[in-house]
Amino acid sequence: MSDLEEKLALIPMVVEQTPRGERAYDIYSRLLKDNVIFAVGPIEDHMANLIIAQLLFLESENPSKDIFLYINSPGGTITSGLSIYDTMQFIKPDVSTICVGQASSMGAILLAAGAKGKRYSLPNSRMMIHQPISGFQGQASDIDIHAKEVLNSGSKSIIYLLINRKN
């Protein structure tokens, strides 16, 4: 069993009383009922798909109810983060963002993506922004094209997103 699998096996369960008896939920499923989503760890494609699915599900359940996205992330890939960002802007409910721990790199971009007046950071949380970092291999001409793409599109689009998210 990998470290990640071991950590996932330790998710707490909560028990609710219902008219039909007791119902056990993992804590994240229970919090999802209250429109709470967590973005914890590196932002990559799998995490992005899970968060996007939860955002779309909560919108379909109640398009007028705010969604709360708690972020504790060191950042991650630009494309994965921007797919979450775009979905947050696309859906009808306001998304309130709360930094717990850290929101670095793409995590900070997601924190800034929250609805105006609904972006928060707990007192001991940290945020950090840096220039895009990329890894690429291949022919020199391909590396040159990729570097120009990161410098032109990546940096400019991130700066544009941040400037337009000011309170």
pLDDT for residue 161: 63
Question: What is the widest separation between alpha-carbon atoms in the chain?
Answer: 67
CATH architecture, domain defined by 34-132: Alpha-Beta Complex (3.90)
pLDDT for residue 18: 87
Catalogue the active-site residues: 105, 130
pLDDT for residue 143: 65
Domain ranges of the chain: 34-132
pLDDT for residue 10: 83
pLDDT for residue 158: 63
3-class DSSP state of 31 = helix
Contact 134, 128 (CB under 8 A): no
Burial class (CB in 10 A: 0-12, 13-18, 19+), 25: middle
What's this model's pTM, rounded to 2 decimal places? 0.80
pLDDT for residue 119: 96
Write a three-state SS string for 26-40.
EHHHHHHHCCEEEEE
pLDDT for residue 3: 72
> What are the average pLDDT values for consecutive 10-residue runs of the chain, which has 167 residues?
68 90 92 98 97 99 98 93 96 98 95 95 91 64 66 58 60
